[in-house]
Amino acid sequence: MPTDAAALPTPPDIPPWKDSRPYSVGGNMHSNGQVTRPGPYSNGALPAPQPRFPNIKDLQDQAALLKVNEQTPIDVLLRTAATAFEQAKILADGDDSDKAYVQYLRASEITINLIPHHPDYRTIQTRSPELYKEFASLMMVRSPAPLIY
């Protein structure tokens, strides 16, 4: 090699990833390969991000906690279902889609499963036409358009 050519430096004896210099990720890499970052977590781990919505099974479990059953007076069932539908609409218009879902599930459970199996259901149309109209209107309630994210 000519004497006027530039000489390259000799490479270091240790790999660059084994030293303890700071890295651009905001922490230090130790000789055991573990990276530590400043902050409240001593092992350098960052907390997992919270999901935007709760688990669907948890929401279904919340909805199942009804304080009514097939023995509850039918007028109370109708009032409870109507209130749940109204709450669901209000919550859906806001930013509480998960709570709206729970209320829709509750209202649907009462309207579709509890009322038709109620002991007074067979006679509701003849004995209480106003209650039957309430039930018919609940059966026609539609949820708002699905939310698109």
Tell me the pLDDT tens digit for each residue of 17-30.
555 544 444 445 55
Residue 3: CB partners within 8 Å, gap ≥ 6?
A: none
d(CA 121, CA 104): 22
Q: Which long-range contacts (CB under 8 A, 24 or more apart) does 129-135 make?
A: 131/74, 131/75, 131/78, 134/78, 134/82, 135/78, 135/111
Which pLDDT does position 78 carry in this prediction?
93
Tell me the pLDDT tens digit for each residue of 17-64.
555 544 444 445 555 555 555 555 555 566 666 666 688 888 888 888
Residue 125: CB partners within 8 Å, gap ≥ 6?
A: 132
Residue 70: CB partners within 8 Å, gap ≥ 6?
A: 114, 117, 118, 119
Residues 81 and 19 in one domain: no
Give the count of domains, the chain. Answer: 2
Tell me the pLDDT tens digit for each residue of 82-138.
999 999 999 999 888 889 999 999 999 999 999 999 999 889 888 999 988 998 888
Residues 107 and 83 in one domain: yes
One-letter identity of residue 134: E
d(CA 111, CA 89): 16
Which domain covers residue 103, as residue numbers?
Answer: 56-139
Report pTM: 0.59
Which pLDDT does position 17 carry in this prediction?
53
Residues 70 and 111 in one domain: yes
